[in-house]
Amino acid sequence: MKMKTCMDKHLNIFQAYHGGNLDSPERVNRLEDNLTRAFIICLKFLQDAGVLRPFFEKIGFAGGHIPKTLVFDLQNMKDKKALGRIQASNNQEHQWLLLIGRDQFKSHWRDDAARQVEKVMEILADTQGSEKRKDFLKYLREIGKREGSTKNFDLNFPEIDPCEAASFFSLIHGCRPDAWIYEEDSNSPFAILVESKVGANKLAHAQVFRHLTGDQGFNLSSDKAIKFIHDKSHMKSTTWTQIAAALKSLMSQLEKTPEVKTIITQFLEYLEMSGEILNLRKLNDVFDEDYAKGQFALFLDVLDRALFIRNGSANKTQVLSRGKRPLAGLWDFYGLENNGKILQNPHISIYLNHDGIGCGITVAKKGPKMRNLLKTPKMVKFLMGEMQSGGVNRQRVKINLVNYRLVDRKPGQVKGDYYDSFRFCVDLKELKGLGKDPLETVDNLVGNCIPISKQLEVLFHCAWVDASKANISLERGETLRRGNLELFENPDQLVNAFINFIEEMIPVLVDVQGK
């Protein structure tokens, strides 16, 4: 399929140079700031269009309490007198927290949360210099790199989920709110403190507590802050997906204010560009590497959670763990664990590229594992079942044998640009025409080519398609284009298709691993 190969992200009004990404706590903070700024700008325009209260009602937040006119501010409030009025107010009915992230914040104030708060306060109050603070920042960067890497640097710190590293990073740097929304002319002003998270980063109880008690937040006493968290009635946790859905539902009310509609459209696009909303259909139409990176990271996160829900407690000896590679190459893998180590040969590959998105079982290195992949009874049963089904998956499931080499490789070189020096690929629809025993035929062919190959794969591959031809193809009885397009437009269905394939491959993975 012929496709456009770029989208100019710089034409989005919210896109910023040095706008941040998910590569480090510092860059995460920048991305959170930029995304929150864009969101606050949208809210200001919604207020101008008279639909701010309906928006808050749609996300289930303080709808009936929203004053008609509000002031919007970012991070440290510019109007110190207004901040003083908010903090001095005895009317806690006017104090609200809006927490935004990829997932909703689960509020369970327990002893471990209290210990984390106590430890943070100890580090912040340290008068001996910055050694504890420096060690703690080192610790946060370390645990943010990979789950399970949680050396505590003698801080005796209650264990932190790696996804909470960004929250504690913000804590140590002062813990300013991401935004304020408040009444300007009131001695007891209505006020919303906004805290946002991006990517897989999660809000920590310690950060919520600090926003409630800190001099840049509501400045409550510890007892009142804990009561606020326990009560939950003035603390709304929502997701970027829910915010996007609420904004989309308001579009019909913005026909008379096209400039506001444009702002909202640009913000929704920015959410996708930032990797907070999954939209593979856009990648199908226009492939862009930066956009693809954010989308792939989000897709992997969604896939992780779906796999855990389906398989997390079903058979703990066969639960897969993801390798969590750097995503520069837009691929990652799941493998079986052995003594805390994720096994890589064989593994389940997940990839996204200019051809499409897919997953597959991959066996590398010449030897019995590669030779036995197509011979295991469970693989034979799966391939024969798909081949005989007559469904569109016969064109998606492929047997792929490949060798790749570095371009102009020099002695000792291990990184660089690769090219395929050999590739053999056949889908199951083609195999069906090879006679009575097509698997034996292709297995013999694969066996002869293994000496010049580096890896053998059985893939579930969803190719990008020409959307303009999808309906015409369907009228002709051709279902692949329309079927793939529906998967890209409904990512939950695509995730489900991946999981179905992966579940079929888990017993094959176990079988081949033991060879």
Residue 157's pLDDT is what?
A: 60
Residue 151's pLDDT is what?
A: 39
Question: Do the beta carbons of residue 334 and residue 323 sit within 8 Å?
Answer: yes
pLDDT over 60 (residue 431): yes
Report d(CA 137, CA 399) in Å as an integer. Answer: 47
pLDDT over 70 (residue 149): no
Residue 147's pLDDT is what?
A: 44
Those residues with Cβ within 8 angstroms of residue 416's Cβ, 6 or more apart along the chain or in another chain = 406, 407, 408, 409
Higher model confidence: residue 9 or residue 397?
397
Residue 110's pLDDT is what?
A: 72
- What average pLDDT does the segment 428-442 reach? 83
Higher model confidence: residue 502 or residue 6?
502
Distances (CA, A) of 381 to 358, 374, 460: 21, 10, 16
Reported as a single tens digit per residue, the pLDDT across 54-75 is 999 999 987 678 888 999 998 7
Residue 12's pLDDT is what?
A: 86
Q: Give the alpha-carbon dihedral of 389, 306, 239, 330, to 10 degrees.
A: -80
- What average pLDDT does the segment 247-264 reach? 96
Q: Specify which of 117-121, 185-189, 256-260, 409-413 reaches the highest per-range mean pLDDT.
A: 256-260
Residue 410's pLDDT is what?
A: 83
Residue 433's pLDDT is what?
A: 73
Q: Please report the DSSP string for 152-199 in residue order.
A: -TT--PPP--GGGHHHHHHHHTT---SEEEE-SS-SS--EEEEEE--T
Residue 417's pLDDT is what?
A: 82
H-assigned helices in 10-108 = 25-48, 52-58, 80-88
pLDDT over 60 (residue 160): yes
Q: Give the helix, strand, coil percentages of the chain, each rounded to 5.
A: 50, 15, 35
Distance of CA 73 to the CA centre of its chain: 28
With both helix axes pointing from N to C terminus, report the angle between 111-124 and 165-172 in degrees, rounded to the nearest 10. Answer: 40
Percentage of the chain exceeding pLDDT 90: 44
H or E stretch covering 422: strand 418-427
Residue 370's pLDDT is what?
A: 87
Q: Please report the DSSP string for 105-123 in residue order.
A: ------HHHHHHHHHHHHH
Percentage of the chain exceeding pLDDT 70: 87
- pTM of structure: 0.83
Reported as a single tens digit per residue, the pLDDT across 282-321 is 999 989 888 899 899 999 999 998 888 776 544 444 578 9
φ, ψ of residue 446 to 5 degrees: the values are -60, -45
Reported as a single tens digit per residue, the pLDDT across 200-237 is 888 888 888 889 988 889 999 988 988 898 888 899 99
Report d(CA 239, CA 242) in Å as an integer. Answer: 5
Residue 27's pLDDT is what?
A: 74
Residue 315's pLDDT is what?
A: 47
pLDDT over 90 (residue 465): yes
* Average model confidence (pLDDT) across the chain: 84
Those residues with Cβ within 8 angstroms of residue 180's Cβ, 6 or more apart along the chain or in another chain = 71, 72, 73, 74, 77, 83, 191, 192, 193, 194
- What average pLDDT does the segment 333-358 reach? 93
Distances (CA, A) of 15 to 5, 93, 176: 19, 36, 23
pLDDT over 90 (residue 135): no
pLDDT over 70 (residue 26): no
Extract the tokens encoding 208: 């919520």
Residue 72's pLDDT is what?
A: 95
CA angle 64, 67, 70 (to 5 degrees): 140
Nearest Cα neighbor of 203 from 226, 237, 156 is 237
- What average pLDDT does the segment 454-473 reach? 89
Higher model confidence: residue 124 or residue 285?
285
Nearest Cα neighbor of 165 from 199, 133, 203, 108 is 203
Strand pairing partners for 245? none
- What average pLDDT does the segment 89-116 reach? 83
Question: Do the beta carbons of residue 141 and residue 234 sit within 8 Å?
Answer: no
CA angle 358, 359, 363 (to 5 degrees): 135
Residue 92's pLDDT is what?
A: 78
- Domain parsing of the chain, residue ranges: 65-234, 287-513
